[in-house]
Amino acid sequence: MKITDIVVTPIAFTDPPLLNAAGLHAPYALRIIIEIKTDEGITGIGEIAGGSSVLDSLQKVKETIVGMDPFERNAIRLAIDNKFLSVMDSMSVGYGHRNVAVRMFSAIDVALFDIIGKAVGKPVVDLLGGRVRDRVDFSAYLFYKYEGAGGPFGFKRNPNATGWHKDKEEAALDPDGVVYQAKAMCKEFGFKSIKLKAGVFHPQVETDTILALRKAFGESYPLRIDPNAIWSLETSIKYGHMLEGVLEYFEDPCKSQESMAALRKEISIPLATNMCTTSFGEIPSDVALGADDIILSDHHIWGGLDATMQLGRICSTFGLGLSMHSNSHLGISLTAMTHLGCALPELSYAMDTHYPWQSEEVIKGGRIQFEDGSLGVSNEPGLGIELDYEQLEKLHQNYLNCGIIDRNDEIEMQKVNPDWTFASHVY
């Protein structure tokens, strides 16, 4: 089989005014949908975070991979590395050029698995070694937020919204608001564990929010807080002590492997990260320093599905736990995450997902339905989903019209509060 074409479609979909350490979500979130076509008439699909550098690179990748066999995933990855990385880049880790190449391959890898699955008549989970569980649990991903629906409504409500879609338009700017959001989200989706995106208000308010969630939900709901590394080591120690015995894990309270390692010696809560260790090259120092207890995998960031399976093995080798990170996404990503989650032996936590915050879809059949906070995968070949071209075109038009080409939460926040800076709320 030969790859004949790769079609790259940037899309934008409605995102409510969610707050985080970097600022505020824009009214539209960006993703890129890719379709890899083959001479046997099989097409594979993938989804990745939007942004101009990944989009530019994906638009140039066609000449590199057209003509290659989709089964040769290793050769395709090397060809992409050779084309998009200089020798210097390939030695660096973290963000930058290497990150763009890794992210590009992450999307391509999912589409290749989709093609291979369709060609051999097997679901992607089987290509990853088969199910170790039939369903994967997801956690309720809570945000402090302004009132509003996002998209064309911005900070206003959508008058036609009902149920959870109405509840999610409520402001959540204090512990009570977050507890309301948590109850509404858990009722709608059946989630049984909770993550709070923090780094927005004073750490005392955010600690009080966790304590209010504990009071409202009791001990059977594991709780996590993620200040996105905006707390100092001292602040993390101080508030970490208040959360001992309450948190399932403490996600990226402070910046750098060194600070996380120092924190880990002081408090008795497992530390998790999707910020201080985000690539294979950072694992040796992570382990040597003892920076954390749990790595949050993400196939969009670690280099695809197979790479994430390898990450699981490495984590268990070094006694690290494995969870899963997310970002604003639609159903192709959610389906790929679910295949992976069903196959990953080392996964031992409910996975993150932003999906409840979104309303639109690009796959046939519309929005994916959670049951009891979990999802399973079908036995259909490949990912088992198909693109809805009408919706894809609609969301592509959103992209063309919304004027956002790169995510910048700081600029979005300054539209609301011109004096706001990232540095002004580092605690």
Residue in 140, 49, 129, 75 with CA at minimum distance from that of residue 345: 129
CB under 8 Å to 368, separation ≥6 — which residues?
A: 331, 334, 335, 355, 361, 375
Cα 206 to its chain centre, rounded Å, is 22
Q: Where are the strands (E) in 301-423, listed by range? A: 321-324, 374-376
Stretch of 57-65, 163-171, 324-332, 395-403 lying at the interface with ligand GKR (CB under 6 A): 324-332
Q: Where are the strands (E) in 17-145, listed by range? A: 19-20, 23-24, 28-38, 43-49, 135-137, 140-143
Per CB under 5 A, the list member of 181, 274, 279, 358 interacting with Mg ion is 274
297 makes contact, choosing from ligand GKR, Mg ion, none, with CB < 5 to 8 Å by partner type, with none
Among residues 25 and 37, whose Cβ is nearest to ligand GKR?
A: 25
Stretch of 3-11, 64-72, 169-177, 321-329 lying at the interface with ligand GKR (CB under 6 A): 321-329
Per CB under 6 A, the list member of 64, 327, 408, 414 interacting with ligand GKR is 327
Phi then psi for 353, rounded to 5 degrees?
-155, 140
Residue in 230, 318, 232, 226 with CA at minimum distance from that of residue 269: 226
Stretch of 128-136, 168-176, 255-263, 319-327 lying at the interface with ligand GKR (CB under 6 A): 319-327
Per CB under 6 A, the list member of 9, 14, 228, 279 interacting with ligand GKR is 228
197 makes contact, choosing from Mg ion, ligand GKR, none, with CB < 5 to 8 Å by partner type, with ligand GKR
Residues 125-154 as x/- pattern, contact with ligand GKR by CB under 6 A: ------------------------------
339 makes contact, choosing from ligand GKR, Mg ion, none, with CB < 5 to 8 Å by partner type, with none
Q: Which residue has the tokens 């994967």?
A: 136
Among residues 197 and 299, whose Cβ is nearest to ligand GKR?
A: 197
User: DSSP state, 255?
Assistant: S
Among residues 20 and 43, whose Cβ is nearest to ligand GKR?
A: 20
Residue 398 touches ligand GKR, criterion: CB under 6 A: no
Residue 300 touches ligand GKR, criterion: CB under 6 A: no
CA–CA dist 296, 292 (Å, integer): 11
Residue 193 touches ligand GKR, criterion: CB under 6 A: no
For residues 92 and 45, is the Cβ–Cβ distance under 8 A? no
Residue 226 touches Mg ion, criterion: CB under 5 A: yes
> How many Cβ atoms sit within 10 Å of the Cβ of residue 137?
19
Residue 299 touches ligand GKR, criterion: CB under 6 A: no
Catalytic residues: 197, 325
CB under 8 Å to 94, separation ≥6 — which residues?
A: 278, 279, 281, 282
For the sheet with 223-226, list strands across it: 140-143, 194-197, 223-226, 247-251, 271-273, 294-297, 321-324
Q: Where are the strands (E) in 294-381, listed by range? A: 294-297, 321-324, 374-376
> How many Cβ atoms sit within 10 Å of the Cβ of residue 199?
25
Among residues 274 and 398, whose Cβ is nearest to ligand GKR?
A: 274
Residues 348-377 as x/- pattern, contact with ligand GKR by CB under 6 A: ------x-----------------------
Measured CA distances, 256 to 232, 388, 424 (Å): 10, 42, 20
Residues 24-43 as x/- pattern, contact with ligand GKR by CB under 6 A: --------------------
Long-range pairs for 414-417: beta carbons < 8 A, 24 or more residues apart: 414/23, 415/24, 416/24, 416/146
Among residues 76 and 210, whose Cβ is nearest to ligand GKR?
A: 210
137 makes contact, choosing from Mg ion, ligand GKR, none, with CB < 5 to 8 Å by partner type, with none
Residue 325 touches ligand GKR, criterion: CB under 6 A: yes
Per CB under 6 A, the list member of 20, 207, 259, 358 interacting with ligand GKR is 20
The number of residues in the chain equals 427
Among residues 128 and 223, whose Cβ is nearest to ligand GKR?
A: 223
Give the angle subtended at the CA of 40 by the CAs of 39 and 45, to the nearest 5°. Answer: 85
* Residues engaged in binding Mg ion (CB under 5 A): 226, 251, 274
* Residues engaged in binding ligand GKR (CB under 6 A): 18, 20, 197, 226, 228, 274, 325-328, 354
